[in-house]
Amino acid sequence: MKEQVEQIIDRHSHAEGRVDLVAILHEVNSTQRYLSREALEMIAQKLAVPLSRLYSMAAFYRSFNLEPRGDHEVHICLGTACHVRGGERIFDRLSERLGIGSGETTSDRKFTINRVNCVGACALGPLVVIDGRYYGRLDPLKAERLLEEYYEQA
């Protein structure tokens, strides 16, 4: 991990002394799937930037995660159209099956689930988006089976 973070820092540090902190945080966040305290401390130390500044940046941008994320990101749509067609029951089923709530990650780091608002495919509702793939017209049982398929792949 240390070597990887150092390479990322070097990649975004320019000859004239300019450092692109946001790009560094983005790349660490995407390669490690979150910004660990250890990684942030390394960046702070190497670039002589206050750790508190890095945490502020991480909190400002919604795309950064300060908690570990699962291999699979599951978004359960609870926008109005999906909600009235049973989106909440799907969320409850998956939440119970995985033993986690919205925004949480399973202890084996396989799945992170999130309640989300309309993802723009209301005609397919209720739906779940897993790793960017849309699965529509689900019910709790179909959604749980879908999860099992991802478990088998993992």
Q: Which residues on adjacent β-strands are paired with residue 112?
A: 73, 105
Alpha-carbon distances of 79 from 47, 75, 101, 113, rounded to whole Å: 42, 11, 18, 16
Q: Using the rule CB under 6 A, is 100 a contact of ligand FES? A: no
List the x/- string, 44-83, binding to ligand FES by CB under 6 A.
---------------------------------x-xxxx-
Q: Using the rule CB under 6 A, is 139 a contact of ligand FES? A: no
Kindly tell me which residue out of 94, 125, 138, 143 binds ligand FES, with binding defined by CB under 6 A. Answer: 125
Report the distance separating Cα 26 and Cα 37, nearest Å: 15
- Judged by phi (left if over 0) then psi (alpha if -120 to 50, else beta), residue 86 lies in left
Kindly tell me which residue out of 122, 139, 142, 144 binds ligand FES, with binding defined by CB under 6 A. Answer: 122
Q: Using the rule CB under 6 A, is 119 a contact of ligand FES? A: yes
Q: Using the rule CB under 6 A, is 130 a contact of ligand FES? A: no
Point out which residues bind ligand FES (CB under 6 A). Answer: 77, 79-82, 118-122, 125, 127
